[in-house]
Amino acid sequence: MVERVLRAVSIVLSLIIVAGFAMFAVDEFDRASGGQRNELAGFEQADPTPIGEEQREKRHSKVREYIDDANDVLLKPFANISDSGSRWVQRGLPTLLGLALYGFLVAYLARFMKGRG
């Protein structure tokens, strides 16, 4: 029973992280193709500044903002790991670490619990 719950949690958290990164990537491709620039720094970070968060809320739909907010919470422990100026590194590294923790580690814990039961 516990392993099924852990496995489901692992899958849901991983899907949120992947969806958040996919939407970031779409935004980046749109920005590159349209030649647009964000007016405020911090908009694309895994843990945006309050001003960046406010700007993001204006640009995104409610559903997108819920996913972004959940993604921010999940990736907050990894948000300041990289000092790179690249938005891809600022988002990619926390995404990979989040997937490692919430996806692989929680799934491993679920398999471990199944073996003990």
Q: List Cβ neighbours of 38 (8 Å cut-off, separation of 6 or more).
A: 31, 44, 55
Torsion, CA 38, CA 89, CA 19, CA 27, rounded to 10: 30
44 pLDDT higher than 80: no
9 pLDDT higher than 90: yes
Q: What is the DSSP string of 84-111?
A: -S-HHHHHHHHHHHHIIIIIIIHHHHHH
pLDDT score, position 33: 62
- What is the pLDDT confidence band of residue 46, given thresholds at 50, 70 and 90? low
pLDDT score, position 117: 56
Q: Report residue 73 as tokens.
A: 């919470």
Q: List Cβ neighbours of 18 (8 Å cut-off, separation of 6 or more).
A: 95, 99
0.95 surpassed by pTM: no
pLDDT, averaged across the chain:
82
- What is the pLDDT confidence band of residue 13, given thresholds at 50, 70 and 90? very high
pLDDT score, position 76: 92
- pLDDT tens readout for residues 78-114: 988 888 888 889 889 999 999 999 999 988 888 888 7
State how far the Cα of 106 lies from the Cα of 98, in Å rounded to an integer. Answer: 11
State how far the Cα of 105 lies from the Cα of 103, in Å rounded to an integer. Answer: 6
CB of 78 closer than 8 Å to CB of 93? yes
